[in-house]
Chain A
Amino acid sequence: MTRRGALLLVPAVLLLLVFFAYPVIWLLMRSASAPHWGAQNFVWLVRHPVYLRVLLNTVTISATATICCVVIGYPLAYSMATGSERTRRLLGFLVLVPFWTSILVRTFAWMVLLQRLGLINQFLMWFGVVDRPVQLIYNRLGTLIGMVQVLLPFLVLPLYSVMVRINPIYERAAATLGASPTRAFLRVYLPLSMPGLLAGGTLVFIIALGYFITPALLGGPADTMVAQLIQQQIANFGDWGHAGALAAVLLFGTGLILLVMRSVFGTRDAWNVM
């Protein structure tokens, strides 16, 4: 039985070894072997403040996007988890539709809205907030507006799956024992929902680190992220050494975060989002 079981694995494992594991390892090896063996590609990275700046940008943008997702995603997940069956279904549907919609479509929608004479600027001028159109796109603000919207479901869905399992009786018990709603929430509900918040937050952060589409379309030259730099190195310069070094840094960072989360929360929490 075991031998036959192993046979079932052959096609998938072979496919992933040949067309995923091998090329990824090849790419990472380039960082040390192209054009010749040595640490020159990492030295290049450290010597150029421009590229260090890109790495710093990537971390700052990802962290800001994660914090924004947490701040606006938490109340949404809470309402989904504690609302009536109808609320739950409606909100679930409204979160899943954008989740299933192509990132390109959603980013394009933001391009339309954030344009110089787009809907948002029209609104701001109509309400008299500003008297001239403000620059909302091709800068960090645009990148963040777009990224947070795309990444929000990745926070809300795992958070919701944890929250829905929290028995409301705990919070009520705290209230009966004299805790104010705020105190009951902070001391009872928040700690119980923490695993979901951390799993969702980590997921958002690591997706943001390697993000390509939205920053490329909504960001400006000053908001270049590491994924765009990898793409440029390959598409414009064919420089596999530099691309490999950047990929190694990105993969190492992502892996490190996953490992830390895994050791803190056990194996499965970070994965079972899909």
Chain B
Amino acid sequence: MERHVRLANKMLSFAWWRMARRAMCGLTICYLVGPLLVVLVLSFSSAQFLTFPPPAFSLHLYRNLLQDPRWAASFVTSLKIMIPSAAVATLCATAAACGVIRLNAKAATLVSVLILAPIVTPVIITAAAIYGLFQRLGLNGTIGGLIIAHTVITLPYVFITVSAALNAVDPRLEAAASTLGAPPLTAFRRIVLPLIMPAVLSGLLFAMVVSFDELVVSLFISTPEVQPLTVHMWSDVMGDVDPTITALSSFLLCISLLAVFAQRGVRLMLRRSDVDLETAASS
């Protein structure tokens, strides 16, 4: 009898604990996502000021955004930086990831530390350092300079993603292709590349998002004439809170939502290629 009571008590306290935990999770999720939702709602407000709830809905903030050529110009600048830097970073990082697994352990660690260093170095240090270098080279305020800086910043992210996929590829597959007479390049192109392709795409996407959202380094090395979107937004936000920014923020939020979905898609592709490999191996 006593045992039953104790058991019941135990279950009750378990239920309590679970309810408390659920409530806390709900609050935490509100804290994480809530502010973004508020901005999204406010971006459709008809008011000239940021009052919540909005008195009526209207698209006038989006109209403001689209009619101001400065926003369009900085958006184009962001794309001009993002596309080449993400492409170059993906190519260099994929090549490097393929090179690193052919090195011995010691050399591989050394190279990996160099390639991953920009992630663990506080970004303000990277920014100050690149600004100093560009000052001496006369590259501050140029698209070329921004592309180089963004390539350096995004490269490690692609490297991590592709390296992880490469480590999962069975080295016997490439060896088997070579045994069957495929030249190294063919073996790579026909066997390894298709297997790591989802990771390469995922890395490319990662690089694009990181470049598009990058602020600190761009803030140092851009000038009012050549200004990516985030720097433009920063200089606008520094003074007061302009309601037009809510429309811009919502637009950026949609882009990150797309990125999350694309990332999921890539992961599904990755999983499917795993399955294909298993069925191929078993048949």
Q: Which of A1-32 contact B (CB under 8 A)?
A: 1-2, 4-9, 11-13, 15-17, 19-24, 26-27, 30
Residues of B within 8 A of A254 (CB): 120-122
CB distance A274 to B119 under 8 Å?
yes
Interface size range on A against B: 35 or more
Whether A167 is near chain B, meaning CB under 8 Å from some CB there, is: no
Q: Provide the residues of chain B in CB contact with A7, threshold 8 Å.
A: 99
B77 at the interface (CB under 8 A from A): no
Interface residue SS majority, chain B: helix
Interface positions, chain B 158-193, Cβ under 8 Å from A, are: 159-161, 184
- Contacts between chains A and B (CB distance < 8 A), count: 250
Chain A proximity of B143: nearest CB distance (Å): 15
* Beta-carbon contact of B155 and A12 below 8 Å: yes
- A109→B28 contact, CB < 8 A: no
Question: B120-163 CB contact bits vs A (8 Å, 1 = yes)?
Answer: 11111111111111000000000000001101100101011100
Q: Complex: how many Å from CA A9 to CA B35?
A: 43
> How many whole Å from A231's CB to the nearest CB in chain B?
7
Question: A23 with B52: in contact, given A149-B31, A254-B120 (CB under 8 Å)?
Answer: no
Q: Out of A13, A75, A100, A209, which one reaches B209, CB within 8 Å?
A: A100
Contact B35 A8 (CB under 8 A): no
Q: Is A111 an interface residue (CB 8 A)?
A: yes
B233 interfacial contact with A, CB 8 Å: yes
Answer whether residue B201 sits at the interface, using C-beta atoms and an 8 A cutoff: no
B: residues with CB less than 8 A from A are 10, 13-14, 17, 21-22, 24-25, 28-29, 31-33, 35-36, 38-39, 42, 50-52, 91-93, 95-96, 98-103, 109, 111, 114-133, 148-149, 151-152, 155, 157, 159-161, 184, 206, 209, 212-213, 215-216, 220, 230, 233-234, 237-238, 241, 245-246, 249, 252-253, 256-257, 259-260, 263
Q: Which 4 A-B pairs have the closest CB atoms?
A: A210-B122, A5-B102, A8-B99, A109-B35
Name 15 interchain pairs, CB-CB below 8 A, sorted by A: A8-B98, A12-B92, A16-B115, A27-B125, A30-B132, A97-B36, A98-B32, A105-B252, A109-B35, A115-B241, A227-B124, A230-B125, A254-B120, A267-B109, A274-B119
- A residues near B, CB below 8 A? 1-2, 4-9, 11-13, 15-17, 19-24, 26-27, 30, 72-73, 75-76, 78-79, 91, 93-98, 100-113, 115, 117-119, 122, 149, 152-153, 175, 180-182, 206, 209-210, 212-213, 217, 227, 230-231, 234-235, 240, 243, 247, 250-251, 254, 258, 267, 271, 274
